[in-house]
Amino acid sequence: MKTDRPTALITGASRGIGRACAEAFAAAGYHLHLTCLQSEDTLLSLKQELESRYAISCHASLCDMGNYQDVAKLFSHIHTLDVLINNAGLSHIGLIQDMSPDQWNRVMATNLHACFYTAKCAIPLMLAKGRGRILNVSSVWGCVGASMEAAYSASKGGVNTFTRALARELAPSNIQVNAAAFGMIDTDMNCCFTQEELGGILEEIPAGRMGTCKEAAELILQLANAPAYLTGQIVTMDGGWT
């Protein structure tokens, strides 16, 4: 097993975009650290599959990315890192007046605070190597806002601004920071919509369909391999919706 390959950390890797990223980066020869919140059996199965198929090393861990103590413990076992992919996310649909402060705080912790926690821990590892990539998974709702998803929109808007600001901070150190703002991607997060609601949404998308997790992962892998001069960008992939 080659040890000189690059290493990536992918959060929220048990399903959806995170799982697709794990498969794409493993196929590209990356050693991996994968996390999820609670689907341990699924994550361990993915770890075994990727190690067997691609001859890479893969570490799988349960981790609440919205809890700094959990993130710090995770990074105590990570000694080298080339790419950080902040994918773990949480949605909440409902009227803002019906949302509890605890629900609001949970969305913010998972979607936004986690980006700070992981960056804080990852940056020293990247500085030691003289290079690094931080890639944040965002949403078009962070750019325009969505009715009934105020907390999610606010958290992803924060991710976008955090991305731009951190990119400026880290550019002199050869660490690039970018985000992928996705539109409607076919993930479990969108299973909450009825067929009628989904049909109405698809009518507004020029491409006429949802994006796939594989397409999302391909974009993130491209950003990981993009020229170093590309930093501080929110790259949108939404089938022409915006």
Whole-number CA gyration radius for the chain: 17
DSSP assigned state of 67: -
**Pick from 235, 38, 69, 111: nearest CA to 13:** 38
Alpha-helix runs per DSSP H in the chain: 16-27, 40-54, 68-75, 101-108, 114-129, 141-144, 150-170, 195-203, 213-224
- Residues 188, 16: Cα–Cα separation, whole Å: 7
**10 pairs with which residues across the strands?**
34, 85
- Residues 110, 99: Cα–Cα separation, whole Å: 16
Token look-up 């570490």 returns 59
SS3 call for 33: strand
Token look-up 């075994």 returns 48
- Residues 67, 63: Cα–Cα separation, whole Å: 8
Q: Which are the catalytic amino acids?
A: 152
The token pair that represents 170 in the structure block:
């880290």
**For residue 226, which amino acid is it?**
A
- Residues 108, 129: Cα–Cα separation, whole Å: 31
